[in-house]
Amino acid sequence: MRRYTIAVDGKSFTLDVRGLSQDTFEVTIGNRKMAVQLAEGVDLPRSSITPDLAASLSSSPPGPPPPGPTQSGAAVAPLVVPLARPGVATAGAGIGAVTAPMPGVIAAIEAAPGARVKRGQPLFSLEAMKMLNAIRSPRDGVVAEVLVARGQTVAFGDPLLRFER
């Protein structure tokens, strides 16, 4: 179970969310319980955790690294985090694409073009760091195209599969 505290119009509420199945949840707000079914999930862009991201993307040359303590006392340059995200279509992948959540090797392909899949159904097995990871469908749909082959090495964010619209 997960507990969230939210504020709506200046009033604070506590939400308890308990997963009942892959797409069904029990949500409790105060004394009121509701059964909630997820119709469709969409990944929204995450914000960067790097406060100096705008400066690192500017066309002007970078200045000296900001002072900051380390174990040795030397200054450290800010870390810039890539904005690519797993499960979200990248440029050229198209809308409705499933992308690699991490670098690895495609160990198995469990979906074929034309196949109807349900949300949460395994689509691929991805071997990363000697572990097999199931890549599951983010939604119900029909597979339009499988973009990788068994044994292929993929990078973080590479398109793996495209759904029909």
* Residue range(s) occupied by CATH 2.40.50.100 in the chain: 97-163
Written in H, E and C, the secondary structure of 138-161 is CCCEEEEEECCCCCCEECCCCEEE
For residues 68 and 29, what is the distance between their CA atoms, to the nearest angstrom? 44
| pLDDT for 97 | 85
Tell whether the model's pLDDT for residue 11 goes beyond 70: yes
- Please state the pTM of the whole predicted model: 0.46
Assigned CATH class of 97-163:
mainly beta
For residues 85 and 1, what is the distance between their CA atoms, to the nearest angstrom? 26
Digit-coded pLDDT (tens) for 83-140: 334 443 333 445 578 999 899 999 999 999 999 999 999 999 999 888 999 999 988 9
Closest to 124 measured CA to CA, from 160, 92, 158, 152? 160
Tell whether the model's pLDDT for residue 49 goes beyond 70: no
